[in-house]
């Protein structure tokens, strides 16, 4: 079994209202000097596959088809 | 300036209906042998602080107060 973590983040230039809201909230809470907040998603998955190369290939297909919207999002795959 | 990535994941034992929905969707799309899907959140932040220890302390407070619900979620902080 291979455990994998997929991280999906917004591409540069894509507006992130959630991140902006967090920045605003941080200011209200008294945290200063924090900016550039961007929110993304993370997925932990377990694959029955034991071959790392095959697992990575499968995960790429999963990201392209389901987990990420590649028009506006980047994804990265980490196997462990 | 310090860049940081905060990853917030559900604690073990906490139900994750989003993860279950993704598992179902993966099955419908023909991906087999993938289970244990858990969805979390990731936050990228930029701190004006230059001292890594202070930055980590600030980020811990930010996680406890805003980014994570520590009753049901774990968080991890990575500085770069």
Residue A10 CA to residue A39 CA, distance in Å, equals 8
Residue with tokens 């980490």: A78
> 3-class DSSP state for residue A16?
coil
Residues of the domain holding A53: 2-79
Local structure of residue A14 (DSSP, 8 states): S
Determine whether the interchain pair A39/B36 forms a contact, defined as Cβ–Cβ distance below 8 Å: no
Which residues from chain B sit within 8 angstroms of residue A19, using beta carbons? 43
Asked if residues B6 and B76 have their Cβ atoms less than 8 Å apart, the reply is: yes
Determine whether the interchain pair B58/A34 forms a contact, defined as Cβ–Cβ distance below 8 Å: yes
Determine whether the interchain pair B36/A48 forms a contact, defined as Cβ–Cβ distance below 8 Å: no
Chain B contact for A73, CB < 8 A? no
Determine whether the interchain pair B45/A37 forms a contact, defined as Cβ–Cβ distance below 8 Å: yes
ipTM: 0.93
**pLDDT of A77 over the 90 cut:** yes
Determine whether the interchain pair A67/B22 forms a contact, defined as Cβ–Cβ distance below 8 Å: yes
Residue A75 CA to residue A78 CA, distance in Å, equals 10
DSSP string of A18-66, one letter each residue: HHHHHHHHHHHTT--SEEEEEEEEEEEEEES---HHHHHHHHHHHIIII
| pLDDT tens per residue across span A14-37 | 999 999 999 999 999 999 999 999
The count of structural domains within chain A is: 1
pTM of the predicted model, to two decimals? 0.94
Local structure of residue B40 (DSSP, 8 states): E
| pLDDT tens per residue across span B8-67 | 999 999 999 999 999 999 999 999 999 999 999 999 999 999 999 999 999 999 999 999
Chain B contact for A79, CB < 8 A? no
The Cα of A52 is separated from the nearest Cα of chain B by a number of Å equal to 14
Asked if residues B55 and B35 have their Cβ atoms less than 8 Å apart, the reply is: no
CATH assignment at residue B16: 3.30.1280.10
């Amino acid at each position: 079994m291979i455990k994998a973590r997929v991280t999906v983040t917004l591409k540069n230039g894509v507006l992130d209202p959630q991140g902006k809201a967090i920045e605003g909230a941080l200011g209200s809470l008294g945290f200063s000097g924090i900016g550039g907040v961007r929110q993304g998603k993370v997925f932990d998955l377990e694959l029955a596959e034991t071959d790392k190369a095959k697992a990575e290939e499968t995960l790429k297909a999963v990201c392209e088809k389901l987990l990420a919207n590649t028009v506006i999002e980047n994804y990265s795959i980490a196997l462990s």
